Structure 1
Amino acid sequence: MNSVKKSFLVSAVSVSLCASVSANAQTTLKVSHFLPPSHFIHDTFIEPWTKEVEECAGGEVKFQIFPGGSAFGNVAKQLDQVKAGVVDIAHGLSGVPRGRLPRTNIIDMPFMVKSSDSATRALWDLYQQGYIADDFKGLKVLALHAHNAGLIHTRDKRIDDLSQLQGLRIRFPSVTTKSMLESYGASAIGMPPTQVYENLSKGAIDGTVFPWDAVGAFKLDEVLKYHLDAKAYTTSFFYVMNERKYNMLPEKVRGCIDTYSGQALIDQLGGWWNDADKPGYEAAVERGNEIIEVSDEQRQRWREQLEPVVNSTLESLKADGVEDPQGLYDAAQKAVAKYE
């Protein structure tokens, strides 16, 4: 075989091999969140979502999930990690670190929503209409959501009015909730959810603010007696992807991510939260704890009493660069009303 033919065959084989490698190339995407693998966010939401996208993409992509407690599972770092491309996709709390997603946190206002479903759908509307889009520059938003409205749980003292919080030490989950508790004379205590059981059992705190899912997850029914179903607040979450990484993906993979994200997730998240709340509620009932119901009229009165807290929060948003906080708040209320 002469050298010309040999060279041609080598080149042809090389091209063929490269084409084969290219055709079988697989992208691995890192997904991080801050919750344990036992939480429904992991085993009902994120893990099945990755499997759906993998199957849709026909093997062109796979995912590696890093939950809470892993190298990329720190709640305070989720947003920075995905923006920097350290991870490709992240699920995190909108309020951590504080002030990073100020527009999105509008849904966290006291007595804004009753359910995860209405909060989640309202957030998605606000994003699509451009009200909160500036919070997510450089990111591909896969979903935004919030948990069912939280209760005020107490250890020894039964309360049926927020004025009875005076002097109580209550663990708070967000800055807005902290302001709400302090406006009624409570001492707002910050601590990780994992430390609440121990501090309640020792009497270091008198109560906590949580949705039902946390009561079940942390067995708080064992150290609580009273649950004021005030539907006082919610906390919002983001599920986002590094936009540059998304744009670099093959068209088929991008299409699969789009198919199983956005409205497809929004339509399911409220139901997932309802399912997650059931064990906590049922555990409290089975133990004989008292659940104090609250009327819409009472919630409205509390909401009116908290207008100074709302106004102060809106002023803080303005200081954080939000151009029209009042307009954003009005739009959020309108969006929630649409679904409640």
Structure 2
Amino acid sequence: MKRFPLKALAGAVLATAAMGAAQAADVTLRYTHFWPSASRVHTEVFEAWAKSIEQASDGRIRVQVFPAQTLAKADGSYQATVNGVADIVSTAQGYTAGRFPLSQIVEFPGMGETSLQSGCILQSLYDKGMLDKEYADSKVLYMFTTGPGVLHTRDKSIPNPDALKGLRMRNPAAIAGQVLQKAGARNVSMPAPEAYESMQRGVIDGTAFPWEAMQVFRLNELASHHTHVPVYSTVFVTAMNKRTYDRLPDDLKKVIDDHSGAKWQQRAAAVFDALDVEGRQAAEKAGNEIIVVDDPMKDAAWGPLLQSVVDDYLGGLKKQNLPGEDVYKAALEAKSSCPATAG
């Protein structure tokens, strides 16, 4: 019988115990979002974030990314994360109407020229603590936005607001919905992934969407008329279940914290802004009609409509005793220091 020195045997036992402790400390995080798995938003933002987390934690954190609503439906994904069905979510605040009223000020027409600028404004407001109460039930990692959402229709040209009367338009968010409603369109609410089939079947005549989304959700295949009048931007949050975060050891909390804030807002913005360029170029290449409205807030046809939506929204916040005017003022101040382009 082969004998082992007690010292060596004790070392082996300790090593085995250490390995078991390391395995026990491993964490798997379920990350849900609604973008298609083939989209660059999925691969270059969310999967890139997941891989970076895994590398920074030396494999102690694993992230399983569930795209295309496979873990939770888009309009219920934030609550699913709060409830622990998912550990992390990237979603649009507009999917839960009335839950993030101050955040959605950044959706105002003309607020930001690009995803980089609008996202910077939103992240700045959060970093200043002006939006804290809206996210008290989650651990916010970073904020981001689309570029400006503009109008796209299948069969009808939209040279002015009157041309929207009677059209069935997908309503992407509160601000855009007000613009469409005031113009006389019939609002139809649905998550972004359902827009293609709905337009294909004639359930909707068009949508307000950033150029990026026209590319990601393939709607450029269906829409042949585009009016580049920025009526909104969609605001997004990447948030984590608070209990999941609180259970992490301090060194792994630091890994999550290091993957939060402006750096990842900017990473997302770079993808969204690049896709905006690609989406518009695809429409141009197809020979589609593109009407461009310069300086929409001062445009004779569009300006009064857009300004009335801003005024009504702020008035509604005032009636709820929410500091909408303060947040709006801070957003405009942030805009002056948030660049529209990188570099």
What TM-score do the two structures reach when normalised by structure 2? 0.86
Quick check: 1:113–1:119 contact (8 Å CA) kept in 2?
yes
Structure 2 SS opposite 1:160: coil
For the structure 1 residues 327 and 150, does the alpha-carbon distance in structure 2 shift closer, same or farther, using more than 3 Å as the test?
Answer: same
Tell me what 2:240 maps to.
Answer: 241
1: CA distance, partners of 2:230 / 2:166 = 21
Structure 2 SS opposite 1:134: helix
Tell me what 1:185 maps to.
Answer: 184
Tell me what 1:79 maps to.
Answer: 78
1: CA distance, partners of 2:296 / 2:31 = 43
Shift of residue 318, structure 1, vs aligned partner: 4.3
Structure 1 SS opposite 2:229: coil
For the structure 1 residues 10 and 87, does the alpha-carbon distance in structure 2 shift closer, same or farther, using more than 3 Å as the test?
Answer: farther
Structure 2 SS opposite 1:330: helix
For the structure 1 residues 212 and 14, does the alpha-carbon distance in structure 2 shift closer, same or farther, using more than 3 Å as the test?
Answer: same
2: CA distance, partners of 1:331 / 1:59 = 40
For the structure 1 residues 303 and 250, does the alpha-carbon distance in structure 2 shift closer, same or farther, using more than 3 Å as the test?
Answer: farther
Question: Which string of whole-angstrom CA distances, capped at 9 and with x for unpartnered residues, describes residues 313-335 of structure 1?
Answer: 2243345x553112112222222
For the structure 1 residues 305 and 45, does the alpha-carbon distance in structure 2 shift closer, same or farther, using more than 3 Å as the test?
Answer: same
Quick check: 1:170–1:206 contact (8 Å CA) kept in 2?
yes
Tell me what 1:196 maps to.
Answer: 195
1: CA distance, partners of 2:88 / 2:199 = 35
Quick check: 1:197–1:219 contact (8 Å CA) kept in 2?
yes
Quick check: 1:221–1:289 contact (8 Å CA) kept in 2?
no
Shift of residue 115, structure 1, vs aligned partner: 1.2
2: CA distance, partners of 1:161 / 1:298 = 13
What TM-score do the two structures reach when normalised by structure 1? 0.87
Find out whether 1:48 has 2:48 as its counterpart: yes
Q: Where do residues 83-122 of structure 1 align in structure 2 (5 Å cutoff)?
A: 83-122=82-121
1: CA distance, partners of 2:200 / 2:239 = 37
Structure 1 SS opposite 2:94: coil
For 1:328, the aligned partner's letter is V
For 1:265, the aligned partner's letter is W
Quick check: 2:95–2:191 contact (8 Å CA) kept in 1?
no
Quick check: 1:230–1:299 contact (8 Å CA) kept in 2?
no
Structure 2 SS opposite 1:131: coil
Structure 2 SS opposite 1:268: helix
For the structure 1 residues 262 and 298, does the alpha-carbon distance in structure 2 shift closer, same or farther, using more than 3 Å as the test?
Answer: closer
Please, which runs of 5 or more residues in structure 1 have no aligned partner?
Answer: 1-5
Find out whether 1:250 has 2:249 as its counterpart: yes
Structure 1 SS opposite 2:273: helix
For the structure 1 residues 140 and 190, does the alpha-carbon distance in structure 2 shift closer, same or farther, using more than 3 Å as the test?
Answer: closer
For the structure 1 residues 128 and 300, does the alpha-carbon distance in structure 2 shift closer, same or farther, using more than 3 Å as the test?
Answer: farther
Quick check: 1:143–1:261 contact (8 Å CA) kept in 2?
yes
For the structure 1 residues 132 and 13, does the alpha-carbon distance in structure 2 shift closer, same or farther, using more than 3 Å as the test?
Answer: same
Tell me what 2:3 maps to.
Answer: none
Please, which runs of 5 or more residues in structure 2 have no aligned partner?
Answer: 1-5
Question: Which string of whole-angstrom CA distances, capped at 9 and with x for unpartnered residues, describes residues 190-217 of structure 1?
Answer: 2343443444445443322111122223
Quick check: 2:94–2:235 contact (8 Å CA) kept in 1?
yes
For 2:127, the aligned partner's letter is Q
Which moves more between the two structures, 174-183 or 162-171? 162-171
Quick check: 1:102–1:322 contact (8 Å CA) kept in 2?
no
1: CA distance, partners of 2:81 / 2:195 = 29
Tell me what 2:305 maps to.
Answer: 305
1: CA distance, partners of 2:203 / 2:129 = 44
Tell me what 1:262 maps to.
Answer: 261
Count of residues paired in the alignment: 332
Quick check: 2:94–2:172 contact (8 Å CA) kept in 1?
no
2: CA distance, partners of 1:199 / 1:141 = 33
Shift of residue 12, structure 1, vs aligned partner: 9.1
Tell me what 1:147 maps to.
Answer: 146
For 1:249, the aligned partner's letter is L
Tell me what 1:3 maps to.
Answer: none
Structure 2 SS opposite 1:55: helix
2: CA distance, partners of 1:224 / 1:250 = 50
Quick check: 2:110–2:297 contact (8 Å CA) kept in 1?
no
Quick check: 1:67–1:73 contact (8 Å CA) kept in 2?
no
Question: Which string of whole-angstrom CA distances, capped at 9 and with x for unpartnered residues, describes residues 111-149 of structure 1?
Answer: 322211111000111001111121111422211011010
2: CA distance, partners of 1:13 / 1:268 = 45
For the structure 1 residues 300 and 66, does the alpha-carbon distance in structure 2 shift closer, same or farther, using more than 3 Å as the test?
Answer: same
Structure 2 SS opposite 1:316: helix
Tell me what 1:27 maps to.
Answer: 27
Quick check: 2:230–2:296 contact (8 Å CA) kept in 1?
no
Identity %: 31
2: CA distance, partners of 1:128 / 1:253 = 22
Tell me what 2:59 maps to.
Answer: 59
Shift of residue 278, structure 1, vs aligned partner: 3.6
